[in-house]
Structure 1
Amino acid sequence: MSLFTKFASLAAQYRQLEEAGANPFNVSFDSVLSPTEAVLKGQKVLLLGTNNYLGLTYDPAVIAKAVKATELYGTGTTGSRIANGSYAGHKELEQALAAYFNRKHGMVFSTGYQANLGMLSALAGKDDHLILDADSHASIYDGARLGYAQVTRFRHNSPEDLDNRLRRLKDVPGDKVIVVEGIYSMLGDTAPLKEFAAVKRSYPDTYLVVDEAHSMGVLGENGRGLAEAAGVEADVDFVVGTFSKSLGGVGGFCVSDAEGFDILRVVTRPYMFTASLPPGVIAATLEALHQLQTRPVLRRQLTENANRLYNGLAALGFTVGPEPSPVVSTVMPSPEAAFAFWARLLHGGLYTNVSLPPATPKGLALLRSSVSAAHTPAQIDHAIEMFAEAGREMGLIPAAGAKSQDEPVLAIAK
């Protein structure tokens, strides 16, 4: 018996994808040309699945800062900050993030995944309670598993169910830590954060963590995310996020006003035992944060592009998520249809993402797109045309000229 026998069913499915030429795990670009285009097997491909929301991966100023820092300080730190010390850029970035979010403290992690892994496992101890939205990202669930707190899930985007869960825990000892997201990465829906904040205020020893990974740089007058857009920043105790979306890099962070915040550097294992970010990444992220703050036109263009794609797909008759955002997902009737649709688009020159359960809510099979400020209106329209052609060929939407379905927007209970 092989060590990998336990994965036999998954291995069989993987082989089927390979044989069908529809394996999203095996895409290897020849080259990437820009935030919106790449070359795959000699064919130019339009990128519509990269989370590169502001298109800053090819920004000249961001690249220049990364190159200069690499030349001055080398390619890496070769260890954690506890073991090898901090470079000046690490503290500068933490201070810049704290200032941007109007917080006293900031802490940088090597990935966004580790930010959630580290913060959630440290904030709630064995006598405490983590209260998670049921549709939380895998990194949130894994952070809960790494720690020793008792975990309670509440119905996705339901303030009533959150209140019900907290009411049951009202007289139970221990702190309660609520965790929600700004924009959920599968369907692109936002949390009812104002209502969640009101529930949180009703219970003592209760804290609110908001993961703004997909909403930083997207929502709010200054791009600080859903908490800013909803006007409840004062009710959010900890903001967690990533550099790999709007900031176009890699890494994660947490900012807070919590007294004694720096003890987290000692008790957060993913921070203590992971090599710190290289100088080039730190410098690029600092510059990308500067671009985010000084170029609001990027956020406006992103919103226009997101609305254009969302409304265009809905008008064709596709079932899409409950609200427009840079994450635009279309519901497929089955995983097999999702893979076939994805492959058809890719072979035609359009790269998107396949998302399947258990990573998706309600067991949905999704064809997930993510929009960038760098996309032109013509590129968005071309993508819509490709969706239309594939959808009609597969019988997923009405033929050209036929009446589309009345309710193309996915109804998700909030």
Structure 2
Amino acid sequence: MTALIINHLQESLNALVTANQYRQIPDLQHHGRYVLSEGARLLNIASNDYLGLGSNKQLQSEFLNQLSQSPVDNIPRMSATSSRLLTGNDEHLQALESELQDWYQNAVEKQNLSSSKSVLVFNSGYHANIGILPALTTLPIKTLILADKLVHASIIDGIRLSQSKLVSYRRYRHNDYEHLAKFIEQADLSFERIIIVTESIFSMDGDCADLAQLVQLKAKDARIELYVDEAHAIGILGNTGLGLAEETQTLADIDYLVGTFGKAFASIGAYIMCDEVVKQWLINQMRPLIFSTALPPINHAWTRFILAKIPSLTEQRLHLAQLSTMISTAIPEPYRISATNQSSAYHSPIVPYILGDNALTIAKSKQLQAAGFYALPVRPPTVPANTARIRLVMNAALSSDDCQRLIAHL
């Protein structure tokens, strides 16, 4: 690399520093509910460990105990060593997909709905979102993708990878279904398929999509398919933790139900619940699945261990909802998301504390850290310009007293 390129890179990095947008990987040690950062012991309110399972040493001991009692030949391998289509498949991965399918089927039957889904597991939510839409749009069908303005970067990247002469896309205003309806009305009959893409709980604003309203829109046009990313809702909403779709009884109406294990599940990986034919098409067309080494079997074993417990964690979900409500109602009015974005009755554990200015946000983050809370600034381009914020994240391992102490510093 030439000195000219190095200088350009350094100048660009300096510009990020000046704009208070420079990112650094933090040096952390984890101790249960706390992290050690720069010598300080801080209560972790920045993690997506919504149910507190990632910091639960008792759970980890129970899992390791089970492994230690297994014959050596039955202990899951530490690496898959190749892609799933070569030798990366294993019994834990296949069992995980079967158990996820049972989870969905049980939830549907409890709601007296008629639906069945197959399940395909991926290495991460990012792999899922950059791979599913491009695979679905390789068909010679003129397609229109309509995505919420605030969908995750991985979904935006997946949409960009889907673009071709037969694929068009638009982004409707966040949770603005009148705007979405206009796009649908404007879609002429040459479009044979319309895919609406949304998150269920949005990762930065913490508000929820109105899945029931989206289902109503779908019912008006046979071309419409629904793609819902439940990454931040899985484990914490629904009677059995199957997300906002279970909570709103819309499971049977969603064509592509995507979720991840890296948040409330305290594991790694992702999945899609979809039609069996769609699953087989993804296996044949989805590049991140075909060309990535599969996750280690030991990870799938841990995910199965957690999945077996998720439906029964009702008490943790209730406690989390109470904490989330407590914090969200305590945010001073000038620092809340706009009323138009508060589109759901469901309180998520993601509570944005919006200061707008980058420097102010960094200063507030340091103030909260000095008070004993690991709270981090989120700045553009992760969020829209002038909406820099502290992303306060609740988890079920926190107490009401913890939240009251936090509120005192807001």
Q: Same fold (TM over 0.5)?
A: yes
Structure 1 residues 221-260: aligned runs within 5 Å: 221-260=239-278
Structure 1 residues 249-328: aligned runs within 5 Å: 249-314=267-332, 318-320=335-337, 322=342, 324-328=347-351
User: Structure 1 length normalisation: TM-score?
Assistant: 0.85
Alignment match of 1:44 (pick from 21, 41, 44): 41
The reply to whether residue 65 of structure 1 matches residue 67 of structure 2 is no
Structure 1 residues 147-186: aligned runs within 5 Å: 147-148=162-163, 149-186=167-204
What are the Cα deviations for residues 196-216 of structure 1, in whole angstroms up to 9, with x where unaligned? 111112112221010000111
Q: 1:208 to 1:227 in 2, by over 3 A?
A: same
Q: CA deviation at 1:122?
A: 1.2
Give, in whole Å, the separation in 1 of the partners of 2:156 and 2:65.
Answer: 36
State the SS of the aligned residue for 1:58: coil
The reply to whether residue 380 of structure 1 matches residue 409 of structure 2 is no
Instruction: Determine the structure 2 residue equivalent to 1:54.
Output: 51
What's the % identity of the aligned pairs? 27
Give, in whole Å, the separation in 2 of the partners of 1:66 and 1:108.
Answer: 23
Instruction: Determine the structure 2 residue equivalent to 1:112.
Output: 125
Q: CA deviation at 1:9?
A: 5.4
The reply to whether residue 91 of structure 1 matches residue 94 of structure 2 is yes
Given that 1:124 and 1:177 are in contact with CA atoms closer than 8 Å, whether structure 2 keeps it comes out as: no
Alignment match of 2:159 (pick from 133, 144, 156): 144
State the SS of the aligned residue for 1:224: coil
State the SS of the aligned residue for 1:79: coil
Q: CA deviation at 1:363?
A: 4.2
* Unmatched segments (≥5 aa) in structure 2: 106-115
Q: 1:207 to 1:157 in 2, by over 3 A?
A: same
Give, in whole Å, the separation in 2 of the partners of 1:363 and 1:258.
Answer: 44
Given that 1:69 and 1:279 are in contact with CA atoms closer than 8 Å, whether structure 2 keeps it comes out as: no
Code of the aligned partner of 1:319 = R
Number of equivalent positions: 381
The reply to whether residue 135 of structure 1 matches residue 171 of structure 2 is no
Q: CA deviation at 1:349?
A: 2.3
Code of the aligned partner of 1:28 = D
Give, in whole Å, the separation in 2 of the partners of 1:270 and 1:63.
Answer: 33
State the SS of the aligned residue for 1:57: coil
Instruction: Determine the structure 2 residue equivalent to 1:409.
Output: none
Q: CA deviation at 1:373?
A: 0.6
Q: CA deviation at 1:110?
A: 0.7
Q: 1:345 to 1:9 in 2, by over 3 A?
A: farther
Given that 1:345 and 1:386 are in contact with CA atoms closer than 8 Å, whether structure 2 keeps it comes out as: yes
Give, in whole Å, the separation in 2 of the partners of 1:67 and 1:144.
Answer: 44
Q: CA deviation at 1:23?
A: 6.6
Q: CA deviation at 1:377?
A: 1.2
Q: CA deviation at 1:263?
A: 2.2
Give, in whole Å, the separation in 1 of the partners of 2:276 and 2:174.
Answer: 27
Instruction: Determine the structure 2 residue equivalent to 1:211.
Output: 229
Given that 1:32 and 1:38 are in contact with CA atoms closer than 8 Å, whether structure 2 keeps it comes out as: yes
Given that 1:319 and 1:331 are in contact with CA atoms closer than 8 Å, whether structure 2 keeps it comes out as: yes
Q: 1:133 to 1:64 in 2, by over 3 A?
A: same
Code of the aligned partner of 1:292 = I
Question: Which stretch of the first structure deviates more once superposed, 320-329 or 226-235?
Answer: 320-329
Code of the aligned partner of 2:402 = Q
State the SS of the aligned residue for 1:73: coil
Q: CA deviation at 1:217?
A: 1.5
Given that 2:357 and 2:386 are in contact with CA atoms closer than 8 Å, whether structure 1 keeps it comes out as: no
State the SS of the aligned residue for 1:3: helix
Question: Which stretch of the first structure deviates more once superposed, 176-185 or 78-87?
Answer: 78-87
Code of the aligned partner of 2:379 = L
User: Structure 2 length normalisation: TM-score?
Assistant: 0.86
Give, in whole Å, the separation in 1 of the partners of 2:44 and 2:103.
Answer: 30
Q: CA deviation at 1:346?
A: 2.1
* Unmatched segments (≥5 aa) in structure 1: 388-414
Give, in whole Å, the separation in 2 of the partners of 1:258 and 1:164.
Answer: 32
Code of the aligned partner of 1:257 = D
